[in-house]
Every structure is written in C-alpha cells, then in structure tokens.
Amino acid sequence: MRFDLVDLQLFIAVADARSITQGAVRAHLALASASERIKGLEAALGISLLKRGRRGVELTAAGESLLDHARIVMHNVEAMRGDLSAFASGVRASVLLLANTSGLSEHLPRALAAFLREHPDINVDVEERESADIAAAIATGAADLGFAAEHALPDSVERFLFSEDRLMLVASKRSDLANRRQIDFVEVTGRDFVGLTASTALQVHISKHAARLGARLRFRARMRDFDAICQMVAADVGVAVMPETAARRCARSMPIMMIRIRDSWANRKLTICARSFKALPRPAKQLAEFLRKAVT
C-alpha cells in the first residue's frame, strides 16, 4: 500500500477544516482534484474515511486513525526537511520543545542556556502551550519534546520528573489575607485578580478550574510576566495565582506573601515528556538526556 504525501496533507487539511472545500483551499488544490484524491484514498484503503453531510464532513473511526498517522508522517517529513536544510545552511539541527508557562519562564531557561552552550550545532525552538495541548501534540507526534504538568499526560506518553512547583495565591502583606497560610480557591474567586494575558497557558489552566467552581475571575490587570504581576499585587490591585518558584523570587524584593492553595490542581509535578525517548531524533534525544541530568 503506497501513500502520496499530497494526499496525506490534503486529508489533514480536510480533517482540520471539517470541509473538503476548505481543505482544498488550505492544500492549494482545486475542489474537483481534492475530492477525487479523497475518493481515491478511500478506494485504495477499501474503507470510508469521511461522513459527508450538508454542513461539512466528520471523520469515521478509520479516518481518526489515519489522521493520527498522517500527522506523525508529515511531522517526520518536515523534521527531515528542516534537518537537511539546516545542514545545507550550516545549522546542523533543530528541536521543537513545547512548554507550559511555568516551564518557559521559570524552570527551563537556565538548563536550555547550558545545553545550547555545549551544543552550538543544535537550535531549540520553544513554543508556549497549555499542558493538555502539549500532551496531545506529543501523543500525535506533532512535537519532539514537551515540558508539561504530569496530570495532563496520558499513560501512552513517556515522561520523567523535572521539578515540582505548586501554584500559590499571592497577596499584598497589607491584605486582609495576611494571616492566612492555606486557603481553598473557592474562597477567593470573588476577589479582584491580577493575571497573565488571557492567551497564556497558565492563565487558561487557572480559569478552567475557576469555571469548574462556577466562577469567572475578575481581572483588574493582565500583565506579561510574573514580576509585573507581583508589583501590582504589592500595590493592592488584587491577588494572583502563580508558581511558587516565581512567587518566592519576587517576595525577596516586594511586600507580598504566599498562601498555599489547598485544591489538588495547584500541586503540580512538572515533567519532560516524549512519545518515545528512544525513538527521538538524535538532537532531541541529546536535549532530553541533558535535561534528565539537570534534574535536581
């Protein structure tokens, strides 16, 4: 059974758009050509991949399976192209690492800097994602490595513990919460908050748990980093939820205090994860081993 890469790219585009018409546009193909390619793919496989309806298409179980494999194949093809073009331009290799907000801002920079110093022939592209999205990308082969909270990972994804970092409630030392050492998150959902921009992975994570309590957090200000958030908290603008590592660092120079959130979701084990560490391309495998040794 032979597969055409154009067919696989088209199928991914159709599946993402839930429309053959829109998929054809994304794949830069004429609608008639795209339709024939999908029919030809189904005929070659001897199975139906799409359920066609008035409002578009839905994937059959076989289609879902093909989509997972197609993504892995196309990711590997793109990785191959990138590696070979990098050789031609003098940059030997590149690794795609997806990281949650805490990893990107607090845990990874120092280790990545050390790795890049030791491996001048390897580049690392780091993208911020929510842990659940990282898990999905790793499981489908869309990324090499991930830095994510362990609770979001399926059993099929390999991982090793990199660090532990609780989410803490941060308040001004002048706040009426100043005498609290522990708190249930539901007790503060009605307060004014200072947070990260709405699109950051950590902010999405916190908002989801607030929604499960039937609350929508009220933000007085949204900042781009934890230091700026702590400055706002210190000025009594509101409270904030942030990783303990960042909160402790800021507390050394600002009049803020940390309160332990009792909710289980605030206790996070942060991991380095991969679909299979043994099957990683050599540069990604080198980075994974370096990070494993960097665990303290």
What is the per-residue DSSP string for 69-117? HHHHHHHHHHHHHHHHHHHHHT--EEEEEEE-HHIIIIISHHHHHHHHH
Average pLDDT, the chain: 90
Residue 2 confidence class, pLDDT cut points 50, 70, 90? confident
Of the listed ranges 67-71, 182-186, 270-274, the least confidently predicted one is 67-71
Q: What pLDDT does residue 59 have?
A: 93
Separation between Cα atoms, residue 129 and residue 201, nearest integer Å = 5
**Interval 133-175: pLDDT, tens:** 899 999 888 888 999 988 888 888 999 999 888 899 999 999 9
E strand or H helix that includes residue 169? strand 167-172
User: Taking Cα atoms as reference points, which of 136, 122, 51, 52 lies closest to residue 93?
Assistant: 122
Q: Is the pLDDT of residue 90 over 60?
A: no
Separation between Cα atoms, residue 224 and residue 203, nearest integer Å = 11
- 295 vs 232, residue with greater confidence: 232
Residue found by looking up tokens 């879902």 in the block: 64
Residue 1 confidence class, pLDDT cut points 50, 70, 90? low
| Cα atoms found within 13 Å of the Cα of residue 99, Cβ hemisphere only | 19
Separation between Cα atoms, residue 270 and residue 262, nearest integer Å = 18
Mean pLDDT, residues 271-296 taken together: 91
Residue found by looking up tokens 């070979």 in the block: 84
Check the CA dihedral 105-108-114-119 and report its sign. negative
User: Taking Cα atoms as reference points, which of 262, 273, 272 lies closest to residue 167?
Assistant: 262
Each domain of the chain, given as residue ranges in start order, spans: 5-71, 94-164+282-294, 167-266
Number of H helices, E strands in the chain: 11, 13
Q: What pLDDT does residue 91 have?
A: 54
User: Taking Cα atoms as reference points, which of 139, 102, 241 lies closest to residue 183?
Assistant: 241
* Percent of the chain residues topping a pLDDT of 70: 96
The CATH number given to 167-266 is 3.40.190.10
Contact, 120 vs 168, CB < 8 A? no
The CATH number given to 5-71 is 1.10.10.10
Instruction: Say yes or no: domain 94-164+282-294 is CATH 3.40.190.10.
Output: yes
**CA 153, chain centre distance (Å):** 11
Whether 94-164+282-294 shares its CATH topology with 167-266 is answered yes
Tokens of 85: 């073009």
The CA-based angle 234-131-193, given to 5 degrees, is 25
Which is it for strands 218-223 and 192-196: parallel, antiparallel or unpaired?
parallel
